[in-house]
Structure 1
């Protein structure tokens, strides 16, 4: 923070007694610097390690949420880490979502006028979480941003409330606009909607003051389910299983049914898809071809269409395998949640059956022959025999299949796939350069690999050298003390997005996984495992 900003915060602190207590945080935050700018510059105290990484947490008065449980984990882990630069990176990354992205959290009730305006019900506990440098909430990003805190929710009532509120808010988003991926601040929050310069033609239509972007991504719906299943698995609570959550769940099921339909009916007549998307753009991955429908998909696969990938890039062949795998896992996990909540036995059976059938469909249609690696998972298929062989850094990906809980990392087909997608000769988006390497994707271009892919590679590996090698490569390319979206493989000082909360969360998750399973790699020989 600049000296001027520090002085402003100090002055406001002295004046705070003139205002009602509830207004103090908002008043103080008005003097806080824009975090995108803050994250782009270096701040003391520095790590003292070879890289001398900066300290990038905002001052306490400027943090958007606090948790004693999170602070304890930071102290526990950083005090044991041998590598001072790695410790500084964890210190900055683990709390980044809480420090910078909680735009609205309430335990109270919203006004009925606001609720009526956007059709949602904003009563009770709600949380709005932005992705970072864009003031909108992605279902996928926000779920992953909270994953690290799920394990602490049972011991920290504030985190419990935060995550419960996030589930309730996502439920409202899904009920109103299940085909959309990113959302505006709830009307009840009083936060002004973010302006979008995009010119989109989308069906079904949506309300721009409610939706920031409406790209239909199957993984967004799977991530909504995951937010609830993770909460249940870590707290044992089914408090989120309300009438609104059930309505959101039924909306998910209705949507995936609509997106399981082929392009042509049994009489070989074209049937328009319920969802179409066209954008005025010069970038091919930002829109769908064939008047917004996308390429034809065959019948009888049992797979679910996804118009876009988790990178927000358009799919080429709509049966995108990674989110289908993820959805199969989450449907089966959601069956357990509904059962634990005392929900209808018929719904429990339906969810289990849907998940099992989808898992079978992924195996049947997603596994194809590669000339070098044998049986592998395709990235996308169309049911006609066409397939795309590649991987993208964003989760869900083929690399992340064990991370998603779909396969064991020792699975033969997964291991074949892993070899394929980390081979430049087989995966066009495995990018290598003199300073960095890893899986990238078309979203940024042909020179930038994503740290997230290296972190997923570490979390799905049994090889100590691969794990620590990838972790160190991410450390060495995070010179601003935070994890970036992508890195130029020829120049690690060239990156995209100084503030990308999801990437910071994945880094912290990787460190915590290593601490629990392979502590000797980061804490030293004979170190005991650490679990928060």
Structure 2
């Protein structure tokens, strides 16, 4: 028996034994195995399917959050799934964020209502801190996507409602203090020690290392902050998150994207120093920006917003990165609708709507380019001078995910052309193919690893039954530990990165739920009725 398994058995024994302190949550949690190690080892009971996938949920006392509504969905879906291995993978993946990544949640009863001495933020009211997995830091993008599956349940489960409301409040503080940063330390009020980073970065604007884990400016991080609120409203009808602090965060977002919409040179051809610069001591080119941390020049008159890094945390080559611009255009317009519904300032509503509409037009005007084989397609990155990068990356937002983001319909001609381009090895250098796995990868991991996330997005943006179930099965077959990995080596599915990556598991569960609602026959059997959360 492995050490993690022994620890789990010991924990269960402590729960069952009539010992002093057996009901003390703190004592039980100290007995819990490290989940990164736990996730690297198979555990019983096994699925009983051809792959015999293991059960990878931690013992109940070790789970970081619980929801009766989530458990009900697990029971409903797994009882209907024909494929026992697929059922086991869903059983592990759907609750993975709740089971393992909620590091801190408070209803606000312990908050003083004053600024923290450590970080200057105002940790008042409900707060939630969520890590992505094996790093004890919160990424705005990851945490928003990790919670996405639970948004639909928040209206009927008060605990999930509170959890997501707290996440919005916490992200608001992160954005207010450091809008250029992508990953954050545990809030001071949580009592959790900051994660130590070994990176040597020179960043402007400067940031507090006790507050920020990493400060790569990624436009999609700000768009995801808006998305967390818009999805909460769409699923609950609640505008409770529209606090003074959230409005302050929104104001900060708008100031940031205005600053990042400026060109590299003014109308007289003189260099304008960008407000954000980033340099890292590294031998990896994608981990830093060239030209003394500025990045390659960008032209004026595009209406696009610069992004220094991609959602993979890799540096952009041409800073007008199309997918997050498309995402931001959608979220600005959705935010306008919420503020209008809440009776907010009419001038702000009009401003957000105009910004979103203009940005969507800019994406189409400058992001659509001519491909010699596929015709009009969306470029991955452009610079406003005529240069473009034709490729796609697995991380969301991506070109493949444009319908998923709500920017276009799946039937859109330019999107269909783009989809053909990026799912072909001959036209997308990061579409990786091997004897055991295939899919879109990216420079973050290398030239042999494709990401299961790309196959799941491909399934969610397809109308082809064979393509959908084929991609689902490929992810299932490569998830031999019962969890979805970050990336898979296309020549050997046993060679993977990250046994525990909550974002990927959330996307898998979301894909299954989408199929259950729209194409139930693919996973529940012929004549099956739709299952809608």
Work out whether the TM-score is over 0.5.
yes
Q: Secondary structure at the match of 1:365?
A: helix
Match for residue 504 of structure 1? 505
Match for residue 442 of structure 2? 441
1:421-479 Cα distance to aligned partner (Å, 9 max, x none): 00101000000000000000000000000000000000000000000000000000000
Q: Secondary structure at the match of 1:425?
A: coil
Match for residue 152 of structure 2? 151
Extract structure 1 runs of 4+ deviating beyond 3 A.
Answer: 12-19, 111-114
Aligned residue runs from structure 1 range 153-168, under 5 A: 153-168=154-169
Offset, 1:415: 0.1
* 2:358 corresponds to 1:367: no
Match for residue 52 of structure 1? 52
Offset, 1:340: 1.6
* 2:34 corresponds to 1:34: yes
Q: Secondary structure at the match of 1:265?
A: coil
Offset, 1:2: 2.1
Offset, 1:18: 4.9
* 2:78 corresponds to 1:89: no
Offset, 1:342: 1.4
Q: Determine the C-alpha separation between the residues in 2 that align with 1:157 and 1:16.
A: 33
Q: Determine the C-alpha separation between the residues in 2 that align with 1:351 and 1:293.
A: 28
Match for residue 250 of structure 1? 251
Q: Determine the C-alpha separation between the residues in 1 that align with 2:285 and 2:6.
A: 45
Match for residue 428 of structure 1? 429
Q: Determine the C-alpha separation between the residues in 2 that align with 1:381 and 1:163.
A: 35
Q: Determine the C-alpha separation between the residues in 2 that align with 1:381 and 1:18.
A: 60
CA contact under 8 A between 1:114 and 1:187: conserved in structure 2?
no
Match for residue 69 of structure 2? 69
Offset, 1:109: 3.2
Q: Determine the C-alpha separation between the residues in 2 that align with 1:2 and 1:412.
A: 52
Match for residue 516 of structure 1? 517
Q: Secondary structure at the match of 1:294?
A: coil
Q: Secondary structure at the match of 1:118?
A: coil
Match for residue 6 of structure 1? 9
CA contact under 8 A between 1:12 and 1:27: conserved in structure 2?
no
Q: Determine the C-alpha separation between the residues in 2 that align with 1:523 and 1:25.
A: 39
Aligned residue runs from structure 1 range 369-388, under 5 A: 369-388=370-389
CA contact under 8 A between 1:458 and 1:468: conserved in structure 2?
yes
Offset, 1:7: 1.9
Offset, 1:144: 0.1
1:158-191 Cα distance to aligned partner (Å, 9 max, x none): 0000000000000000000000000000000000
Q: Determine the C-alpha separation between the residues in 2 that align with 1:348 and 1:304.
A: 20
Q: Which runs of 5+ in 2 are unaligned?
A: none
Match for residue 295 of structure 2? 294
Count of paired positions: 529
Q: Secondary structure at the match of 1:117?
A: coil
CA RMSD of aligned residues (A): 1.2
Q: Determine the C-alpha separation between the residues in 2 that align with 1:38 and 1:308.
A: 32
CA contact under 8 A between 1:369 and 1:375: conserved in structure 2?
yes
Match for residue 322 of structure 2? 321
Q: Determine the C-alpha separation between the residues in 2 that align with 1:409 and 1:494.
A: 33
1:305-327 Cα distance to aligned partner (Å, 9 max, x none): 00000000000000000000000
CA contact under 8 A between 1:13 and 1:28: conserved in structure 2?
no
Q: Determine the C-alpha separation between the residues in 1 that align with 2:346 and 2:211.
A: 34
Offset, 1:17: 5.9
Match for residue 395 of structure 1? 396
Offset, 1:337: 1.1
Q: Secondary structure at the match of 1:36?
A: helix
- CA gap 1:34/1:462 in 2 versus in 1, 3 angstroms: same
Aligned residue runs from structure 1 range 192-231, under 5 A: 192-231=193-232
Q: Determine the C-alpha separation between the residues in 2 that align with 1:6 and 1:390.
A: 48
Q: Secondary structure at the match of 1:368?
A: strand
Q: TM-score, normalised by structure 2?
A: 0.98
1:256-313 Cα distance to aligned partner (Å, 9 max, x none): 0000000001111000000000000000000000000000000000000000000000
* 2:106 corresponds to 1:106: yes
Offset, 1:10: 3.3
* 2:514 corresponds to 1:490: no
Q: Determine the C-alpha separation between the residues in 2 that align with 1:226 and 1:477.
A: 30
- CA gap 1:16/1:113 in 2 versus in 1, 3 angstroms: farther
Q: TM-score, normalised by structure 1?
A: 0.98
Q: Determine the C-alpha separation between the residues in 2 that align with 1:8 and 1:76.
A: 28
- CA gap 1:113/1:356 in 2 versus in 1, 3 angstroms: closer
- CA gap 1:54/1:362 in 2 versus in 1, 3 angstroms: same
Aligned residue runs from structure 1 range 334-353, under 5 A: 334-353=335-354
Q: Determine the C-alpha separation between the residues in 2 that align with 1:354 and 1:334.
A: 11
Q: Secondary structure at the match of 2:355?
A: helix
Q: Determine the C-alpha separation between the residues in 1 that align with 2:268 and 2:344.
A: 40
Aligned residue runs from structure 1 range 114-125, under 5 A: 115-125=116-126
1:13-41 Cα distance to aligned partner (Å, 9 max, x none): 7578659x8xx323211110000000000
CA contact under 8 A between 2:21 and 2:27: conserved in structure 1?
no
Q: Which runs of 5+ in 1 are unaligned?
A: none
- CA gap 1:192/1:354 in 2 versus in 1, 3 angstroms: same
Q: Secondary structure at the match of 1:281?
A: coil
Q: Secondary structure at the match of 2:291?
A: helix
Offset, 1:4: 3.8
